Structure formats: structure tokens, C-alpha cells
Amino acid sequence: MERDERNKIAGKKAHLLTESVRELAPPFVRLAPVRLPEMRNVALSRRALEVIDHPDFQRLRLIRQLGPTHLVYPGAVHTRFEHSLGVWDCVRRYLQNLLHDPAFLEAVGEEDILTLLAASLLHDIGHYPLAHNLEALHHKGEETPRHEDLARKIVIGELTSAPDKPPIAEILERRWKVDPARVCNLVSPPAGGLTDRTDRILASILSSPIDADKMDYLERDSIHMGVPYGRNWDRERFLASLVLSPEGDRIAVSDKGRVSAEIFIFCRYTMFSEAYWHHTVRSASAMAERALAAWRAESRIETDDLVDLLFGSSDESLVAHLHETAPETSRARLLLQGLLGGRRGLYKRVVTLSLVHTDPRRRAGFEMIYRMNAAEVTALENRLLDRLARLAGQRFPEGSVVVDTPPRGKDRLGRVPVVLGKGPSREVVPLDGVSRIVQGVAEDFAKVVKKIRVFVEPGALDTVRASVPFERLASAVLEETLRAPDSLPFSLLEP
């Protein structure tokens, strides 16, 4: 009886919330729809449109979702603008389903829901051209801006393309009646994490192993790349299984959503394996990363000036500017030439290293490079370039060799709580504890999908291969990789 009464109270609160937060009410789908691929009608409220119409949000129309990936998958020219609208719609769907969970309803109120909806729109507001390539440099020790850090500056108007207009923060306060600082904390949590339990719940909807952000980008990227991997899973059953975890600080799935969550995790795995980390995509990404690093070192641009440049550029205009301002014979100029429209000259793969190889030399090479810092990787690239020059009997320009290590952290799946049973007897277990599929995905991500590759500029590669068989070339590259210089802070066992 107590449970029935609790459900009755929860039902009344859910009804009141859908009445007061119009974005959650079912009739809302008939208002101001925007059509997104693939045949999705995204409903937008007037207060959402005020944020979307702000010039700082409209700027996202210039930012490609997947950077240079369109050089491999021609359809991948969709933007952060489109993705942001998609995440807004996915968060609405998450909330509509979570309103059926009494524990979730006890934890959140109208202001909490509006704060999350605002954050869903603004979660990528800080993005700029080739952001992931620059942020890869940040994780390797370079001082580069993180899009999450820029988001706060944009929202409060410290960084803006429209100084004559009120900042987005004013719209949030005036029209949404929410705290802009709290919205920004959901988009980019403080270093110490979120201390408020409700905020941790809201943040888990936006950023977790089963969040609304991934739900949108896996499907959206699949559509635009022309691949099936990110869209073949049971969304409706997954959404219907969403509940609050028994700990009460994050979202979870009930047992009936376990298989849907497994497929969701597997979709992400296959997208990285077959699309995001496809060897030609990694070639383009590695070229962009190295070009940005080289251009920054050569230009000696200050961080604030770099932010201004990035904030005012599209992908194409940024690459064109870097190319125009890079010295004629520089490493940056060589790399950027292959990324420009009409000159597609992506570097070619010579050697692939991973932990799945049975060849102990390739496994040892992977372990060795994976532990290198940015300076050590650059030194290895220079040594490999010298080796190619000796094989060909001629010199090649700096930047003709790129060693690519995929971004760290992308293979960390995180824990997905699964709630078994109902009432006092329910228990929570991690998804990987009841799913050998998820266990295997976590293992294979590190062992199979994560690869280190050596790429060579096409012209240089053709010159070397004219006189050296490819097998001998690959063997020489691997041999030079394993010849660890004394300066490395670790030793390599003999293969």
C-alpha cells in the first residue's frame, strides 16, 4: 500500500512537471519542429529558440562535428549545431522516460530539469574547428584551449562574436529562470567534481557511458558517414528502462534494459573500430594534430590570440589560414597541403602496431611508443625520416613521417549500473559484471581497436617504394622504432 501511495504521489508530480515544463509535454512535439536527419522532428520552445538564435550559438553551424573525417567519408560534413539540437531532443526523451521513476521524481524539480535542458543545448557551445585535434595536444602536454573551458566564457559573454548583444547567460536568467553558473557546471564540471547529488544525477544524463550525447552522436555520425554501426540498437526499450541508481546519484538501467545497454556499448565500440579510428581517418586526424602543433610552435602565437583565431574560424578557413601563414618549407605547410580541398593527399600507412599481434616485436613497439611523451614521439618521427632517407638515397621534408597514437581515455567504458528486481529486495550490479559482451568490449578496445600507426607522406612513400619492397620498408620502420635511444626514461626488453 505504501508503494502504491508513493507511485500515486510520483504520478501527480510528473503530471505537474510536464504541465510547468512545456518542453516535456507530449503536445509539445507539434510546436516549432526542426527536421534533422534521419527524418527526426526536433521540437523547440521559444526560450530554446532564443538561445539557438544567439550569434554565439549560430557559430556552431561553421564547426564540423568530425573535423577532417569528411576527407574519408564525404558525407561527414554535419555540424556541432545539428548535433546540439539532437542532444537537446535526446535529453528530452531521457527526461520523459525518467519521469516514470518515483526515485528520480523525488530527486529533481522544475528548476533542475530546466537547468539540464539548457545544458543539453549548450554542451558543445565551446567547440571550435579541429577541437579534438588540438585537445589531443593538450593531453600530451601542450598548452591548448579545451572546449569545455571556453564554454563558460562564451555563456557569460567574456568570449563572444556579438559584443552588442546580451550574453547567453542573460537569456538563461531572464527566460529560463536558471543559474548560468550551474548550467556551465553541468557542461564542464569543476575539477573537484559536482558535490550536489541532484547535479550529479543531471550530469550523468549528459555525460556517462549511456548518456544522451552518445545516443545522438552515434546515430548522427553513422547517418552522415554512411555506416550502420551506431544506429542498430533498441532505443525505445533502452529509454523505457532508465531509472535512478539505488545510490541515488546517477542514471541506471533496469534489468529489462540490460540487452539494449549492451548493444549501445557495442555500437560505440564498432563505431570506433570501423569508423572513428579507421586507419585513413586516423591519418587525417594525425596530420591535423601535427600540423597544428608545428604551426603553433613556428608562429609562437599566444594562447589568447589562438583562442580568438579559433573562435572566429570555420574548419575550412582555419586550415586555409594556417596554410597561408606557415613558412614555405615548414612541417606545418607540408602537412596542411594534404588537408586542403582539391589537394587531398592523406599520408599512407606503413606499419600498424597493436597488442593483438602475435609478433612480439610489434607488441613491444606498441608498448614502447604508447609510453612516449610528445617530444619522444617527435624524436622517433625524425629518426624514422632519416631511415627513409637512407633507404631512398635522398632527403625528405620535415613532417613526412607521422606516428599516430589514438587519444587516451576513449577506451574507458565506465560503469553502467543495472538494477535487478524491485522494492527492498532490488540490488545493483555493474553491466560488465553480468555481461561477458561488455567485458569483451572493454578488453578488445585496448587490445584490438587501439592501434599505433606510422604514416608517410605519399610522395616520399612512392619514392622509397620505387627501390625498396614494401615488406622491407615496413621491417626497417619497425626496426628503427625498436631501436630505443638512451635518452628514453625506460628500457625495452629484447623481443
The 3-class SS string of 9-47 reads HHHHHHHHHHHHCHHHCHHHHHCCEEEECCCEEEECCHH
| Percent helix, percent strand, percent coil in the chain, to nearest 5 | 60, 10, 35
Give the predicted TM-score (pTM) of the model: 0.93
> Which of the four pLDDT bands, split at 50, 70 and 90, describes residue 492?
very low
In whole angstroms, what is the distance from residue 387 CA to residue 350 CA? Answer: 13
What length does the chain have? Answer: 495
Q: Is the pLDDT of residue 489 over 80?
A: no
Lowest mean pLDDT among 269-283, 391-405, 420-434, 459-473: 420-434
The one-letter amino acid at 24: L
Residue 80: Cβ-neighbour burial (10 angstroms; 0-12, 13-18, 19+): buried
pLDDT score for 140: 58
In whole angstroms, what is the distance from residue 41 CA to residue 64 CA? Answer: 21
> Which of the four pLDDT bands, split at 50, 70 and 90, describes residue 493?
very low
Lowest mean pLDDT among 236-240, 299-303, 421-425: 421-425
β-pair partners for 427 = 420
In whole angstroms, what is the distance from residue 328 CA to residue 348 CA? Answer: 23
Give the Cβ contact number of residue 480 at 10 Å: 19
In whole angstroms, what is the distance from residue 323 CA to residue 465 CA? Answer: 28
For the stretch 145-198, pLDDT in tens is 778 889 999 999 999 999 999 999 999 999 999 999 999 999 999 988 999 999
Lowest mean pLDDT among 38-42, 108-112, 141-145, 454-458: 141-145
For range 332-338, the mean pLDDT:
94
Domain ranges of the chain: 2-276+412-434, 347-411+450-484
> Which of the four pLDDT bands, split at 50, 70 and 90, describes residue 494?
very low
Strands lying side by side in the sheet with 401-404: 348-353, 452-456, 401-404
In angstroms, what is the C-alpha Rg of the chain?
25
Identify the architecture of domain 2-276+412-434 in CATH.
Answer: Orthogonal Bundle (1.10)
Mean pLDDT value across the chain: 90
For the stretch 101-146, pLDDT in tens is 999 999 999 999 999 999 999 999 999 998 887 776 655 556 677 7
For the stretch 477-487, pLDDT in tens is 999 999 866 54
Output the CA torsion 147→152→156→159 (10° steps).
-30
Q: Which three cell numbers stand for residue 480?
A: 628503427
For range 268-292, the mean pLDDT:
94
Between these two residues, 261 and 134, which has the higher pLDDT value? Answer: 261
